[in-house]
Structure 1
Amino acid sequence: SPFRPLSEVRSMREVRSMRLSHFLARSPSVIKTESFRVFISTWNVGGNTPTAELNLDDFIPADDHSDIYVLGFQEIVPLNAGNVLVIEDNEPAARWLALINRTLNRTVDGDADIFCHKPSLSLDSTSSRSSSNLDASFSNRSGSAIFQSSLKSIRKPYMPTQRKLLKICNCSVEMPRKSYKDACFGCPQAHINETDSSEEDEVDDRSNNASGYVVDGVISSASASSDQLKYNLVSCKRMVGIFVTVWAKKELVPHIGHVRTSCVGRGVMGYLGNKGCISVSMTLHQTSFCFICSHLASGEKEGDELRRNSDVLEILRATQFPRICRRAGQRIPEKIIDHDRVIWLGDLNYRISLSYEDTKKLLTENNWDALFQKDQLNTERDSGRVFRDWSEEKIYFAPTYKYTFNSDSYSGETATSKKKRRTPAWCDRILWHGDGIAQSSYFRGESKFSDHRPVCGSFTVEVYLLDGKSKRRTSNTNIRIGAEELLPTSKNKFT
């Protein structure tokens, strides 16, 4: 089996961790496991804004039918001073969401286009009319409400109708849940992430009516039939050029909860968002997941890899997810490493420690093993300086950076690109941490849209489920605990 057995003896450090699975493991008879497929893609798009003609098959293969998709981007806007310090331009994020939705939800019940009942709003990739509609919906930049509205209002049409339930504690409780306060029994520590307040949702509802330019255009085509979509948007977050989205099959959405995000800036002055990460935490049934989408320090000078190591260590240290609820016998992770299943994706920017000429020679020979021996991430991991105890599948594809735009040639191979020469490198990577994860594929796409090639990975993950009897026992226990938590104590006085 590709999985580590659940009965494997763990170190005392792991036993002391806050992983949800360790608490469940105390009563192994009350849980079972089920396998789900998770697809991961990362792409540095070089500040380029997509048009409707862009085909995402190199980013989301048409023949893939995973249960969960985690799709991360870097540089969805140019990393200039205006975008880093001043402007929040949501046009690129809105376009990427529309394209991803079109790709994942292209058919329902055979090959029928889910938007065929609204041909003027169609997102069919084979239709030139739909392409012009998508472009037209974003064309009038000046004065358009989309660029002043929040990402929350832009993402809303792709999310499930009961999207607020994703943000709350969904531990097994056999009682109706109307709000996060009900779900957590009024626990004083229970709260929603600052980006997820119901008050802001109400504001967005009003702003959507005022900014029908987007919501009544292409994007709202998803909203009109959200119950018919095969995949729903579960989480979506942007920090300057870093952008991450998580999508799940509609039937899985009721079993997803505790969705939280955390951002760590590592750019200008060590904290601005042109570099850094966005992390997404969530639970599926009784298993916790964390997905980290990052863009680390650039540079191919000797010693630049140490800056990237520092970024990783600071991200692991500084990432903190808000506490949603506190319940005896169960803890929701607040740090990256405390999650049961962790996947890290992004432009990690690690280079190959060889000259341009030596690298090119090995490239022409397809000698991936010799190149990988000089890969900085590989050597830094082997030395224990970074990503210790993390795993990465063996690489059998060419370096993904740096290409001449709209070309299969690496930058520097032609006379016009020599001054922009970079030694080819595997900058774009996917790593994972934790038990119960098996990677089945690791490959790159061949889209020429950017100077990077997208990198993708398919995973099978084990997820813990409570059986029916366990759920009833857990419900009764939680109701009792919830009632006790409502009683005032010396540490918790009602005001």
Structure 2
Amino acid sequence: YLGTLHLAIFLRRDLIWYCSIPEESSISVRPGTAFRTKGAIASAFMIFGTSFLFVNTHLTAHQEKVKERVSDVKKIVNSLDLPKNLPTKHKTKDVTQNFDYVFWAGDLNFRLATPRTKVLEWLSKTSFPLPPHLPHGYLHHDQLCSVLADGAAFRGFSEANITFPPTYKYDPGTQNFDSSAKQRTPAYTDRILYKHRHVRRLSGQPETPPIECLVYDSVPSIVTSDHKPVWGVFKSHVRPGMDTIPLAAGLFNREIYLEGIRRRATAIGDAADSTTVCVLQ
């Protein structure tokens, strides 16, 4: 989105034939500026008979601007125009209500409402990863946790237990927290939230949660930014397909697609590092 936000979705090659044509939408919450660094981009599609929405956002910065971040979320939720052609029974203004599964990630910029000295003292005495069943340090002072708890924004969303260190703010190229004159307090600005729509369980479907977070972690080894990236692995239910949606495979010339696979297989043989992934969006 104007070179400041990026969202990439990858799909196994054999699933391209069961995936709908992806739809996208975007919004800047700072219109009129030359570089729209705050806002959201989103992509939506169906796999078999289940709809997914992925949202990447960068919200208003600074410790004290919680209300502005909440306002950003509300504006994004009501402005992303999705789905466009995908089937939905009752399209609502709240885009997160229109899909079976929603993943919302990015630099949400929520901070820890705790003095820097106390956070640094806690970090110096703590070993990571933290046991997931124990209370997590100063997360009871985390602004996003408070927003989720009181329903000010992200209603219906969940987040897995955080067991990793704060992801912001580091001196680039190091593992040291901000040593500049601003002395920013370490915080969990980078998050992954998820939400699912309650649907009737199909006959024979296992009685497991519709969605599970299997892994939620950061990557401390990356030092090219003042943030540490976060990543997650999720497991979700998928319903049988529908024959009324335009499939993404229809965007390809099938003969060229198959010939490309054949040539690629011939070139790389059975190499252990071969991939079964292709780009969807």
- TM-score, L = length of structure 1: 0.43
Contact 2:2-2:35 within 8 A present in 1 as well? no
- Which structure 2 segments of 5+ residues have no match? 198-209, 245-281
Q: Is it true that 1:423 corresponds to 2:185 in the alignment?
A: yes
- Distance, in Å, in 1 between the alignment partners of 2:234 and 2:140 is 25
Q: Could you say if the C-alpha distance between residues 444 and 320 of structure 1 is closer, same or farther in structure 2, counting changes exceeding 3 Å?
A: same
Q: Is it true that 1:441 corresponds to 2:215 in the alignment?
A: yes
Aligned counterpart, 1:185? none
Q: Is it true that 1:347 corresponds to 2:107 in the alignment?
A: yes
Aligned counterpart, 1:310? 71
Contact 2:178-2:184 within 8 A present in 1 as well? yes
Aligned counterpart, 1:461? 236
Aligned counterpart, 1:374? 141
Q: Quick check: which has more Rg, 1 or 2?
A: 1
Shift of 1:324: 2.1
Deviations 1:204-230 (A, max 9, x none): xxxxxxxxxxxxxxxxxxxxxxxxxxx
Aligned counterpart, 2:41? 278
Q: Could you say if the C-alpha distance between residues 289 and 271 of structure 1 is closer, same or farther in structure 2, counting changes exceeding 3 Å?
A: farther
Q: Is it true that 1:338 corresponds to 2:98 in the alignment?
A: yes
Amino acid at match of 1:439: C
* Equivalent residue in structure 1 for 2:60, among 291, 294, 297: 297
Amino acid at match of 2:81: Q
Q: Could you say if the C-alpha distance between residues 248 and 332 of structure 1 is closer, same or farther in structure 2, counting changes exceeding 3 Å?
A: farther
Deviations 1:392-442 (A, max 9, x none): 001011000000010010012xxxx3x142100000000001152110010
Deviations 1:229-282 (A, max 9, x none): xxxxxxxxx333101111101011111114111001012559973101001111
* Equivalent residue in structure 1 for 2:9, among 229, 246, 249: 246
* Equivalent residue in structure 2 for 1:365, among 119, 122, 125: 125
Q: Is it true that 1:356 corresponds to 2:116 in the alignment?
A: yes
Deviations 1:14-42 (A, max 9, x none): xxxxxxxxxxxxxxxxxxxxxxxxxxxxx
- Distance, in Å, in 2 between the alignment partners of 1:256 and 1:375 is 38
* Equivalent residue in structure 1 for 2:159, among 392, 412, 420: 392
Q: Is it true that 1:324 corresponds to 2:107 in the alignment?
A: no
Shift of 1:285: 0.6
Shift of 1:383: 1.5
Q: Could you say if the C-alpha distance between residues 307 and 344 of structure 1 is closer, same or farther in structure 2, counting changes exceeding 3 Å?
A: same
Q: Could you say if the C-alpha distance between residues 298 and 325 of structure 1 is closer, same or farther in structure 2, counting changes exceeding 3 Å?
A: closer
- Distance, in Å, in 1 between the alignment partners of 2:90 and 2:152 is 28
SS at match of 2:238: strand
SS at match of 2:7: strand
Deviations 1:51-90 (A, max 9, x none): xxxxxxxxxxxxxxxxxxxxxxxxxxxxxxxxxxxxxxxx
Aligned counterpart, 1:402? 169
SS at match of 1:373: helix
- Distance, in Å, in 2 between the alignment partners of 1:460 and 1:445 is 21
- TM-score, L = length of structure 2: 0.73
SS at match of 2:138: helix
Contact 2:44-2:83 within 8 A present in 1 as well? no
SS at match of 1:465: coil
More helix per residue? 1
| RMSD across aligned positions (CA) | 2.3
Amino acid at match of 1:317: N
SS at match of 2:237: strand
Shift of 1:332: 8.9
The count of residues paired between Structure 1 and Structure 2 equals: 222
Q: Could you say if the C-alpha distance between residues 264 and 293 of structure 1 is closer, same or farther in structure 2, counting changes exceeding 3 Å?
A: same
Amino acid at match of 2:75: E
SS at match of 2:162: coil
Amino acid at match of 1:445: V
- Distance, in Å, in 2 between the alignment partners of 1:241 and 1:270 is 13
